Structure 1
Amino acid sequence: MPPTLASVVRNTSLHLTVIAGADHLERPVRWVHTSELDDPTPFLEGGELLLTTGIKLGRTASQLQAYVHRLADAGVVGLGLGVGLSHSEVPKPLVEAAAQRGLPLLRVPEPTPFIAISKVVSAAIAAEQYEAVTTSFEAQEELTRAALGKDGTTAVVRRLAARLGGWAALYDGSGALSVVAPDWAARRAGRLAAEVDRLRRRPAPSSAALQGRSPGIDTADEDYVVVQSLGADRRARGFLAVGTEDRITPTERYVLNAAVALLTLTLERSRELRQAEERMGAALLRMVLAGEVATARQVALGLFGGLPEGTIRVLVAGTAQGADASEALSELAERAEQAGGRVGERLLVAREDGDPGPRLIVLALDNGAVHRACLGVVEEHEGVSLGVSAPAALDEAGVAFAQAERALAVALRGGRRSVDHEEVGAGSLLPLLGEEAVTAFAEGLLRPLREHDRTARGDLVRSLRAWLSRHGQWDAAAADLGVHRHTLRYRMRRVEELLGRSLDDTDVRMELWLALRSGEE
């Protein structure tokens, strides 16, 4: 800690006396400055102990009060007046003004040179800086040993919390809490989810400070919290949060920065290992999709502890033609891996380049953590769509992959975030067609009938819909419309005349029904 006015006053060799502001002596002294100007504030930065003999101070109470106000407004932490030259004693108006502003006022006796006060403060500041450097080196050495040991990230978080005398928490790239120390801080760390999520959307490295009664912190705790993203290529690989009772000191900031650097290196190193594992996992996935499940199971047993067992789904993510969402696909793969890792759920992931663009293939348990995480990611990223197969056994992964590809094609054509194979197999024909294409087809085909209904008597579009819905049964359709069947026959002849098509043709009826279903009516 830097020296305070209290520590300076306690130095018996200086013989200083506190005349006013005794309740504010714990203020840190950043420097000592001597000035005989009546307004030295242009040369101050704040945090100084100002020394003066008062040669140019005014003699009136208003002048002395104005002088004190200027110093207090400039952030001066204390004023020392040397007596015996221009002032035999400290002027009473100066004492009153200092007391009013809460500015500590010190009487400096004539035998005490100002340089002696400066030396005391300079020595204390140098000692503080030396201690900060020494402490920082010790902390870096301790944290480095922790990082190189078993469970390196966990050990670093624990040693950091102990060094800061508070708590520390590590979150993965998705914002999920992975390590917290001490254990009692889990509740506090859990409340930072919103702040971590905000940082996750910003380029790394970035940080946020939440002090005292901030919105992100329970007011009962009143922690001073710093949250820092971890990453070397503008993408956050994780997040570190620390909470302390008081604001972090410069020395503690050095310790925190050392921990951030070590955790970043650890995460980047882990990322390289994960990339190698991902390449092996991609090869295994292709073997499974090709029907070589027995061989893949033997290989996976030694590498990953086995393959996903039980009911699985294949998910294929892709982007519309021309869209650049490679970062979103990378995040999808990472979030899927993290979701599986948190609950011990096995999965296989492969990325491939295709037409119209790159795709990500994920084989995961049906409705498991990975499946849910993938659905969540595509909802967050516009332009990325997901095709999901029907539930299947692992031996049927090839068929499930084809289902997921068809579902993805439907999702991309319809501009939807995700489509399940069940929707493709059991749903309407309309989602299988591009929305713009269907709309244009319907408008072109039905335009003559709509124009007729706007300008002439007779509701041809409504009548056609009723007739087609009753499969050409005149009496039933006429009853639905509330008209005579002869009126309905007349209207259908007008439809044929306006469209130039025969309603006896089943293809014409199918096209008209499709147009009516997708149109505005």
Structure 2
Amino acid sequence: MVVLADLLTTRSLDLRLLGGDPSVPVRWVATSELDDPTAFLEGGELLLTTGLRTPRAGWAGWAERLRAAGVSGVGFGTGLSHRAVPRTLVGAAAAQGLALVEVPVPTPFIAVSRRLADLLRRGENDAEAAAARTQRDLAVDAAGPDGVGAVLRRVARSAGGPAWLLDPGGAVRAATTAAPPPPEAVAGLHRVRDQGVRAAWRDVSPQRSLLLRATGSAGSGWLLVACAPATPRAVSGTVGTAAALLGLLTARAAAPAGLAEATLALLLEGRADLAARLAEAAGAPLPDPLVVVRWTGSPPGTAWHDDRHAVLAPGDVGDPPPGARWGVSGTLPAARAAEGVRPAGAAHTRTGPHRALARAGTGALAEVLDPGAVRPWSRRRLAPLAAVEDGAVLRASARAFLEHHGARQPTADALGVHRNTVRHRVARLEALLGISLDSAADRAELWLALTADEAG
């Protein structure tokens, strides 16, 4: 989490705090000279302005609107429209509890934005590394004598807030706090309870974020975690791992199917190493390679299925029974099983009353071309992404960007990030790959490279 003090201590910016809390989180920097910029703000921004004109409602009304919009603070550029920050604004910011910072004329606003972007990127990288360590520790916690309590405590420390394990109806089974779960989270639970093992709900406000994840099929239990409002994306992965482990722990006393569902949840969340160890302990190793099946009606004949998905050896896919509909992904190594969820779902959308089974990629351009030529080409084309630490994140962002036709806000919504993060990732993709995603030809080439590489 980046706070205002991180910017204030950057000497090259020469910022001066005139009032307010330097520990306030800053999610982004926005620049505006509008009389009322709140329609273009999401909350958590440091709003930069030169005070080109005094707002019609005066600085007091302007500060009050910004506070209601959840703005973290105001950076006022001096030496242009004003030689000094207006005293009425200093008083209004203090009355509203808004942090107020003077930005001297030698400091361009873009320098403040760039510094915050650097801090956010560094924070995301650190958070992802910490989350990877935490997820390994969670597996150790789950194997201990107090598995449920230890997992809850670990995920609560990672998120920086309390955690609750809830039953299907929202009653508390275990928690790290005596406080009851927020009522809005229980209401959210009832809205998503029929979405299966991957059911999730999220609520973000300027004060906190709430993350809710199913711990088993058909909402057999729920993990609820309260986090800081600027919680890094990596924490969501930690919550997903904890939810799957809690599903496993609570299923031990239930039918063996509970173990299969928990193992499958880990596999499809990308925790293939942990899923493989659990499967071996259960005496039923996972297939490798495998296909992912999105099914309705009746599942394939495999122990590894929940109420939506199954994994099979590629040669075990037969005809669905009457009334069943299956969408089948391409063949994948078990370690990449999570990549089969989306294509299996897309294939399932092509099934219907007269088509019980559909395979992902049938008729795709990557299949029309010679695989012996296109796959090595795709790997060479995408090699710059494989050479950087955040290559997997950039690949996922590229696919989401292409799937949403280059629209940044829908892409940001799909990835769970700010639209400016999408903008920075697109710029990084273009720089690494030497392409322009404004070019239809380059977009088509990137889509082909991604599709061919994943098919291989």
TM exceeds 0.5?
no
Decide which structure has the larger Cα Rg and report it.
Answer: 1
Give the TM-score taking structure 2 as reference length.
Answer: 0.43
Q: Which has the higher helix share?
A: 1
